[in-house]
Structure 1
């Protein structure tokens, strides 16, 4: 994946496949250093083996964050291998957050298979997430990292923002009234911070000057918000065969995602009926679940979130242009950004 190895831009699917080919061996090497019981749970979560430790080829995720790290290094004139420690680190942090999210949200399915906590127990899944987080910082201590302390602080800052965003999400779920501004602010920490860090790490590991690092960080941050908007749409209207989660899964938990908050803020008859449904007790089920999805759409939540995702993506691409990336890599980052914000993936 070095800059000199390619002359034509790849498709997003090719980028993600190439990222997996490069990152997975290094990721396995890192995970292999964990204590055996933790390694077993981590490998199950990552799709490498089943609950008994037998080899499996389950879905390990899209590899969006490590792909952004590798491409940001190439966009800065370096190579993908320069940024490999950063790519592994952000993938470990991402999976730390997923292990914890699944426990907190009570999700029983991820990537088309039972979540780790339902197989090994909530406490074991939480501790495995903690181990991945500690390991993420450790992988940045390689000898050829030009700024190990700086990159570790960069990653730690993103983790703090991610945790603050996750906490804000929990707080907002307990409140009856939530604004769109608050919802976007939560997403800046919960989702955008790690994508921004992924891009900044790649540029830093390639030796980019501060202004280029900042531009690529900004690109990742806006892309993260666009990605969250698209993901919130999938949480209501996504195809379960693609998302690996039940249809209307976010509505079933009465989650205050962007489409829901936008709909509830619309001051329409549909919004008022939706509020009556959403502010009840217990999970939404059956006809009420279908009705809630219809009301979100009627109140304009679906259309608004589509438009928001598109606007945020365009903001991200404008920031990418200011980083003056290598032409081919700029095209690949653009293709990856557009793929990440599709509402059918």
Structure 2
């Protein structure tokens, strides 16, 4: 398949996804194969929470909407324009996907195919249905995808390269197991926000989206904030109040109760608003329902710390005081060219 053909099929997939929203699923007569796929996808979205308790309809729809926004001809052209693609025999690229948030591995899936390679996908049991459904839609658009997409139930075989995502422990296993093949191995990361105390109430409300979207389970979720000495946390908690209803979700509430109890039994000093605890801690990785904070006296200290811990941080949120930071509310809306771990996946695939 020519790259332009693959690109055009992903544009069609974006149009298909654009029909679905939390408030209203509206069929567009111009979208291909709705008779085969529209109602089935509505049903799959409704069933997603039964497959993974964290995959609420709101979060699944958010992921679908994000991908429908990304898969436009303009976005794909802008992304691909930075590369000089080499015509070559396709390689078989194995993907070992995570399952922490809906469609978390879709960017790798897209990257392998649009670079002209074949994809061997080993899904997580926590996110086993959505990406397979989208693959079926692509195959319906062009049956040549049948030769390019393979889902693997057991171990990967006959692969030329690997992209694997997991915890720090599994990453060590991946690094050893795939040491003789070109690979991208992704470990656990977290995101941080750097606050000055001069943020507007609107910015703090936007920050609540960075903290709570997907219940904080994504590597792009803010799990740590850096604040100046004598910071008034009322501003932070006022912003977080927009997400107060999260406590009515039983699985989140259980984590909140458990983690708060563990902190209190350990005699840690906490600030608490009855659905989120914040704790002073040098770590970047806070548990669900908690955010860590750390004081600073000079923002240059924070810049040095972020640079020092770069391999543990996925993205940084600020109002511009940190270079290359993400603005409030946008961590879960990456562009196609915003690569995980700052590793250029498409360059890696293009040069296999």
* Bigger proportion of residues as strand: 2
Flag whether TM exceeds 0.5 (same fold). Answer: no
Give TM-score, length-normalised by structure 1: 0.31
Give TM-score, length-normalised by structure 2: 0.30
* Bigger proportion of residues as helix: 1
Higher relative CO (Cα under 8 Å, sequence separation at least 6) belongs to 1
Larger Rg: 2
